[in-house]
Amino acid sequence: MTAPARLSHRALGALLSALLLVVLLCGCHRNQDELAKLEGKQGGVDRDEAAHQGSWGAADVGASFKVNDGVRTAAAAKAKLRLSDGSAVALQEKTLLRFLASPPGKKTHGLDVQQGEVELDVGSEGLQIETQAGSAVLEAGSRVRLRKTDQGTRFAVEIGAAHLTDAHQDVKAGESIEVGIGQAVIDRSPAPAPAPSDSAAPPPGVADSAAPADSAAPADSAAPAASSDAAVADNRKPGPALADLLAAPGDSLIVHDPHPPTVVGFATARCSGIAVLEVGSKKRETVGSGQVTAAFSAGAQRYRLRCDGDAKPFAEGNVSVLADAGSRRLSLTAPVNRIDTDGRRYTILYQSLLPKVSVRWPNPPSSGPFTLGLSSQGRQKTFSSGSPSYALPPGTLGEGSHELWFEAHGERSRRTSVVVQFDNAAPTASISAPAERGFAPGATVSVSGMALPGWTVSAGGHELAQDSQQRFSGEVTAPAALGALAIRFSHPQRGVHYYLRRSSR
């Protein structure tokens, strides 16, 4: 009787081992599934694998991609992949795409466009995707472009429609929406034409429709003043006669303009005669005596001021023009960010309130309890959870660098770095009045709106009082000798921003 009993125990042990193996295989199945396959390529296309991220090698046609695998294209290269649901993904040049893990129980594709742009042609069924900017549901047959920008991710719908779940936004054909990192920046605009392959990404906060930094002012800009004899002799043109904003030589400006370009004027008392203003890397020049002006297109541009005949500038600075009407609603709640403890480095930009961070272990053990570890500035904290996820309240992660990881049953996830930074391209204000071109030069103008905490507001040389809700209002005199009223916002750490409203001249 004892021998059969021993045999039964062995058989039972073998059965339990087999069942355990099945459970483990099932638990890993979603991470071993083929998510995409490389159908075609042009030029240099590389790939890496989840276990060896950063170790890039040539990607062959037919290569398959799984969770946390990456694919990238070189300059002048393209790649076409087919997702497991039949949808097609076309990578443009200089693009890096990584496949994220999908939340358990959801039929989604995790696509992280870390650099460049992809074009997604949805198959015969609707498609739900997970990105670092949040979830999106794409209609069947839609064509959507996802492009990485300095502010986050831009969704441009060419055909069909998309619903951005976390941002609660619907985007139709011909529209695009930019969802900033942490859903802190949302900016709706007509879908831009695809950028030329050799164009650089726009600077932070600049609309995609911005003209090149060194482009000349459009034909309907203010007429230039009569040129001086010196200017004619040098074949150099004076700038526009009417400036929108005056600045001291050497000032660096951030200007929010509803309709760029912005004409900026600089006093040139330093020069006894003609002063030369150089703008941009191509050194587009304008000249003037007493004051010199130039039209600054949307974008970030370097300027230099020098006296005619001198090679060395006497002042230089930066002018950043944002194509921004200042009408966006300010973020009054903490943004929500989702982080996977996958060993990568995450950067979170926030605008007004420190973010809430939802942390997830993408490949956890089958059961808990779980412990989330946090290391910040040499101090460590732990948080207990019954599931492989934990929501850190707003402010738990302050500005700076942090490390996060999960532990359970002797297993540990990969340590993941998170950097929290203030978004320098964040809107600092929402302007209610005056309206663009809604007042005459020299008229008394009512100015009102809302600022973020910590900012002081002034216009026409007068500070505007703010109430407990950061709403400001007041009456000022619009400048008669300038083309616009500048509303100035100043912060001791964040600098100075100018919001423009042009007069009806």
Q: Indicate if 491 and 406 belong to the same structural domain.
A: no
Domain membership flag for residue 329 = no
| CATH code (residue 78) | 2.60.120.1440
The more confidently predicted of residues 85 and 382 is 382
Q: Which residues contact 450 (CB under 8 A, 6 or more apart)?
A: 330, 429, 430, 432, 469, 470, 471, 472
Domain membership flag for residue 202 = no
Q: Indicate if 186 and 59 belong to the same structural domain.
A: yes
pLDDT at site 331:
65
Q: Indicate if 399 and 452 belong to the same structural domain.
A: no
In this predicted model, what pLDDT tens digit does every residue of 441-469 receive, in sequence order?
999 999 999 988 888 999 998 999 999 88
Answer yes or no: are the C-beta atoms of 343 and 363 closer than 8 Å: no
Q: Indicate if 38 and 130 belong to the same structural domain.
A: yes
Distance of CA 109 to the CA centre of its chain: 22
Q: 190, 213, 239: which is the final residue of a domain?
A: 190
Q: Does pLDDT of 262 surpass 90?
A: yes
pLDDT at site 203:
35
Domain membership flag for residue 14 = no
**Confidence label for 12 from pLDDT (cuts 50, 70 and 90):** very low
Please tell me the number of Cα atoms within 13 Å of 31 on its side-chain side: 15
| CATH code (residue 445) | 2.60.40
Residues of the domain holding 495: 429-502
Question: What number of H helices and E strands is found in the chain?
Answer: 2, 42
In this predicted model, what pLDDT tens digit does every residue of 215-261 receive, in sequence order?
333 333 333 333 333 333 345 789 999 999 999 999 998 999 999 99
The structural domain count of the chain equals 4
Q: Which of 428, 347, 456 is nearest to 185 (CA)?
A: 428
pLDDT at site 424:
62
Q: Indicate if 446 and 384 belong to the same structural domain.
A: no
pLDDT at site 216:
34
Domain membership flag for residue 481 = yes
Q: Indicate if 242 and 356 belong to the same structural domain.
A: no
* Mean confidence (pLDDT) of the chain: 79
Give one word for 343, left, alpha or beta, with left for phi > 0 and alpha for psi -120 to 50.
left
Q: Indicate if 79 and 167 belong to the same structural domain.
A: yes
Q: Indicate if 56 and 141 belong to the same structural domain.
A: yes
Q: Indicate if 178 and 99 belong to the same structural domain.
A: yes
Domain membership flag for residue 118 = yes
Q: 323, 344, 379: which is the final residue of a domain?
A: 323
pLDDT (mean) for 295-299: 91
The one-character DSSP state at 270 is T
State what percent of residues in the chain have pLDDT above 90: 42
Q: Indicate if 312 and 365 belong to the same structural domain.
A: no
Domain membership flag for residue 7 = no
Q: Indicate if 99 and 53 belong to the same structural domain.
A: yes
In this predicted model, what pLDDT tens digit does every residue of 384-429 receive, in sequence order?
999 999 999 988 998 889 999 999 999 999 999 998 887 765 667 8
pLDDT at site 33:
77
pTM over 0.85: no
Domain membership flag for residue 70 = yes
| CATH code (residue 310) | 2.60.40.10
pLDDT at site 277:
95
Around Cβ 115, how many Cβ atoms within 10 Å? 14
Domain membership flag for residue 328 = no
Q: Indicate if 469 and 489 belong to the same structural domain.
A: yes
Q: 376, 396, 421: which is the final residue of a domain?
A: 421
